């Protein structure tokens, strides 16, 4: 799960927030330096020394004449380029020299380079792709959720879990649209501070939806594994534990992440993760859940292969679990294998790793909900049979309703003629006529 914002450069609000934080840190450093100044240092300062300063990008501590001082690349440059470097200044008798090399060159930002423009074009294309993917998933998942919820004969623990999974995918798609609406809104710097609280809450909600989605994927694996392994499986009892795991566990980790961001990395809109330790509060449980799911499905596959050669293979329950396992195992490559591969890669925007990771995570990942709806609902044999039964029932009731209404409109004259025929006809013919009337 890479940084959630998709763009070639961070928004101006994030850059200004980081720059302001750096200036505050520099002021504290220079203030501490002034408080710790001794008379001997004051004498050196008057005899030849460069005073500490903030040059609107980097912090330079007080230095003696003849010293060369280095400063790391400003953080906002690192956010733009993903590269680290150093800028230098000489302390001369006339004061500080100009920085060298130029900060943009030292930090890998080439104003004449078109790479950033190409990257931005790629990210905008990627944004279009995952917007289409999430829209497709949102529509199909909503239809699938309505179908499962409206068919009474399909109401069971297995389908209830599917419905919660559908809901988690719907929330994931919806939160992505909300996040984009906030992050890609107006970048007027006068409103940066006004939208900070709402923007952070949006990112907290977004991260919760992502984690709950992976939690319900884990629930799917645990449920299927329990069906095959546990002999006497109380579905109702375990269902409430599944709900706690699916919706409750993400709350704990997202709350811990939000607290850590507020205390240790309260910069920007919380959409860019520069502190790996803080980011692993969310990334760690997700990677662990995917790894557990993968182990569960490997064991499920082993059990199924073993039971296929046993007399139990003709059991109706086993055929049901087998169908469910096929659908679930088919989804495993789509559900996080790529996440485990990229989880331990550094998020270096200067390499091509980030672009590939974002493509798998967003462009392809946005269609996951669509595949879930298709496999668990639209291609489900039980759902198809029940929908066909409901369709025939509705079609038959509509046809009978039209027939009854037609008969009622002609009921006066038709019924009178029928009664006259019955009265004047022989008993055998009368019985046949009455039988035809009763059939109507």
Identify the band that residue 198 occupies on the pLDDT scale cut at 50, 70 and 90: confident
| Euclidean distance between CA atoms 10 and 19, whole angstroms | 13
pLDDT > 90 fraction of the chain, expressed in percent and rounded: 22
Judge whether residue 240 has pLDDT over 70: yes
Q: Please give the average per-residue pLDDT across 78-84, as a whole number.
A: 76
pLDDT band at 346 (very low <50, low <70, confident <90, very high): low
pLDDT for 298 equals 82
Cα(259)–Cα(262) distance, rounded to whole angstroms? 5
Question: Considering only CA atoms, which of 146, 205, 189 is closest in space to residue 4?
Answer: 205
pLDDT at residue 141 in the model: 96
Residue 243 predicted with pLDDT over 50: yes
Given a cut of 90, whether residue 267 has pLDDT beyond it is no
Of 20, 17, 8, 19, the C-alpha closest to 80 is 8
- For 323, residues 6+ apart whose C-beta sits below 8 A from its C-beta are 381
**In sequence order, what are the residues at sequence separation of 6 or more whose Cβ sits closer than 8 angstroms to the Cβ of residue 246?**
164, 168, 212, 215, 216, 219
What angle do the packed helices 235-243 and 157-183 form, to 10 degrees? 10
Task: Indicate if the pLDDT at residue 31 is higher than 70.
Answer: yes
The two beta strands, 63-64 and 49-50, are antiparallel
- Among the listed residues 367, 342, 273, 366, the one whose alpha carbon sits nearest the alpha carbon of residue 5: 273
pLDDT tens readout for residues 114-167: 566 677 777 788 888 899 999 999 999 999 999 999 888 888 888 899 999 999
DSSP secondary structure code for residue 111 in this structure = T
257 band by pLDDT with thresholds 50, 70 and 90:
very high
DSSP secondary structure letters along 264-306: H---TTS-S---HHHHHHHHHHHHHHHHHHHHHHHHHHHHHHH
| Beta carbons within 8 Å of 147's beta carbon, 6+ residues apart | 377, 383, 387
Residues 311-339 have pLDDT tens digits of 655 555 566 666 666 666 666 655 666 66
Partner residues linked to 50 by β-bridges: 63
pLDDT tens track for 276-292: 889 899 989 998 998 88
Instruction: Give the Cα separation of 375 and 398 in Å (integer).
Output: 31
Q: Which residues contact 75 (CB under 8 A, 6 or more apart)?
A: 18, 19, 22, 274
Do residues 369 and 137 lie in contact, with contact meaning Cβ atoms separated by under 8 Å? Answer: yes
pTM higher than 0.75, yes or no?
no
14 Cβ contact list (under 8 Å, min separation 6): 79, 267, 268, 269, 271, 272
Contact partners, residue 222, CB within 8 Å, separation at least 6: 242, 245, 296
Report the pLDDT value the prediction gives residue 33, as an integer from 0 to 100. Answer: 83
Closest CA to 377 of 213, 162, 165: 162
């Amino acid at each position: 799960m890479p940084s959630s914002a998709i763009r070639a450069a961070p928004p101006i609000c994030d850059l200004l927030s980081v720059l302001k934080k750096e200036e505050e840190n520099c002021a504290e450093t220079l203030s501490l330096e002034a408080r710790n100044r001794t008379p001997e240092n004051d004498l050196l300062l008057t005899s030849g020394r460069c005073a500490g300063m903030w040059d609107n990008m980097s912090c330079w501590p007080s230095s003696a004449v003849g010293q060369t001082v280095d400063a790391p690349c400003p953080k906002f440059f690192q956010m733009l380029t993903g590269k680290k470097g150093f800028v230098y200044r000489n302390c001369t008798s006339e004061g500080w020299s100009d920085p060298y090399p130029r900060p943009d060159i030292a930090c890998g930002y080439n104003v004449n380079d078109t790479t950033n423009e190409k990257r931005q074009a790629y990210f905008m294309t990627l944004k279009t792709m995952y917007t289409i993917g999430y829209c497709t998933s949102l529509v199909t998942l909503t239809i699938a959720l309505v179908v499962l919820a409206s068919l009474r004969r399909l109401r069971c623990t297995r389908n209830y879990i599917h419905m919660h999974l559908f809901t988690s995918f719907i929330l994931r798609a919806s939160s992505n649209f909300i996040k984009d609406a906030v992050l890609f809104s107006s970048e007027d710097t006068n409103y940066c501070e006004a939208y900070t609280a709402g923007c952070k809450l949006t990112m907290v909600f977004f991260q919760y939806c992502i984690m709950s989605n992976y939690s319900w994927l884990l629930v799917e694996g645990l449920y299927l594994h329990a069906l095959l392994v546990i002999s006497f499986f109380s579905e109702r009892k375990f269902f409430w534990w599944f709900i706690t795991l699916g919706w409750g566990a993400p709350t704990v980790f997202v709350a811990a992440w939000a607290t850590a961001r507020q205390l240790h990395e309260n910069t920007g809109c919380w959409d860019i993760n520069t502190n790996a330790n803080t980011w692993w509060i969310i990334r760690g449980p997700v990677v662990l859940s995917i790894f557990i799911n993968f182990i569960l499905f490997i064991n499920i596959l082993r059990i199924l292969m073993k039971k296929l050669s046993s007399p139990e293979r003709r059991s109706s329950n086993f055929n049901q679990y087998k169908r469910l396992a096929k659908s679930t195992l088919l989804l495993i490559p789509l559900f996080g294998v790529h996440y485990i591969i990229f989880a331990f890669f550094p998020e270096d925007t200067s390499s091509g790793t980030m672009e590939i990771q974002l493509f798998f995570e967003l462009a392809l990942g946005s269609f996951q909900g669509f595949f879930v709806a298709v496999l668990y609902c639209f291609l489900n044999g039980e759902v198809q049979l029940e929908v066909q039964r409901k369709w025939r029932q509705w079609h038959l009731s509509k046809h009978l309703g039209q027939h009854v209404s037609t008969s009622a409109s002609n009921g006066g004259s038709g019924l009178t003629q029928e009664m006259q025929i019955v009265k004047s006809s022989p008993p055998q013919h009368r019985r046949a006529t009455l039988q035809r009337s009763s059939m109507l």
